[in-house]
Amino acid sequence: MHMKATASKIILILSAVSSCCALAMDNGGRSVLVTGAGGQTGQHIFRKLLAKPGYAPIGTVRSEASRQALLEGTAGIGAADGAPAIPEESVAVCDITSDDSILEELLKGCDALMICTSAKPAPTGEIEEETKRPKFGFPNGQPELVDWLGQKKLIDAAKKAKTDIHVVLCSSMGGTNPNNSLNNLGKTVNTDGSSSGGDILKWKRKAEMYLVESGLPYTIVHPGGLLNEPGNERELCLGVDDKIPGTSNNSVPREDVANVMIAALENVEYRGRSFDLVSKPAGDGIVTEDYSKLVADLAGKNCDYSLGESA
């Protein structure tokens, strides 16, 4: 039974790849693999690319249940009123931590890879004795598995498929501070005094450095705190190394993160760049519309990976 299910899954994915790549070539456009398409930021990207002429995206999700929820518009951000249905052949089931051969098939013929997968913390139901705060864990995989090993598999598969695939990675701000509180999520103290698990920003930073050293064209975006609020309504600000001039705000709408990541596909100035992204509060400044100017204002600066720690 398991072998039959696996075979059916591969056939479905190969069909999706074939249809998507053919559509991209017919349109004279680009095929893009979007991982984490059932999540919130990833789904913004996936839906926007589906609506843009000249793009044929394939979105990946972890399970058949997630696939159905995405197709039905009940996952993540959900479908906006009047939004067209997502084509079934554009969504594939693929676990980036284990499905190596499927990843390679999905990436054949792709022009770009958008990595939007990350370990997701959730309350365990327990309380920390010292802080009296809820404990968090990673029920669908620790950061080492998802943010490092899974992303490494994606980068390796992309490089094997095509040496000029543009990889656009959604990461996180905070990586210059090893003591950032996000690194404590899901971390446990062992009986010998050592710790295990957690360290999400350190594992993300390791994957980022691996991508930079891979030789593939890349863009790495470090958003601040992610907001489930409408995009296209704020002035966006870029910086490096957790320092962003022009605002003290440290958050940004997910939709605006999606806009910047898509802009990276369309503006050569974004290639070979690693930067932080936040927005000014709604109503402050001038709404960002020129994404070429946005990155040009960085004046060539990139994040410095000698700062902070990687796992």
Which residue intervals of the chain are DSSP H helices? 2-26, 41-51, 64-72, 100-107, 143, 151-161, 200-212, 254-266, 291-296
Residues in the chain: 311
172 belongs to the catalytic site: yes
How far from chain centre, in Å, is Cα 235?
Answer: 22
CB neighbour class for 217 (10 Å; exposed up to 12, middle 13-18, buried from 19): middle
Point out the catalytic residue in the list 66, 172, 279, 310.
Answer: 172
Secondary structure of residue 3 in the 3-state scheme? helix
Task: Provide the phi-psi class of 241: left if phi over 0, else alpha when psi is between -120 and 50, else beta.
Answer: left
CB of 119 closer than 8 Å to CB of 83: no
State the Cα–Cα distance between residues 74 and 50, nearest whole angstrom: 17
CB neighbour class for 1 (10 Å; exposed up to 12, middle 13-18, buried from 19): exposed
CB neighbour class for 270 (10 Å; exposed up to 12, middle 13-18, buried from 19): buried
Could you tell me which of 44, 97, 71 has the C-alpha nearest to residue 203? 97
State the Cα–Cα distance between residues 77 and 85, nearest whole angstrom: 14
Query: Which residues carry out catalysis?
Result: 172
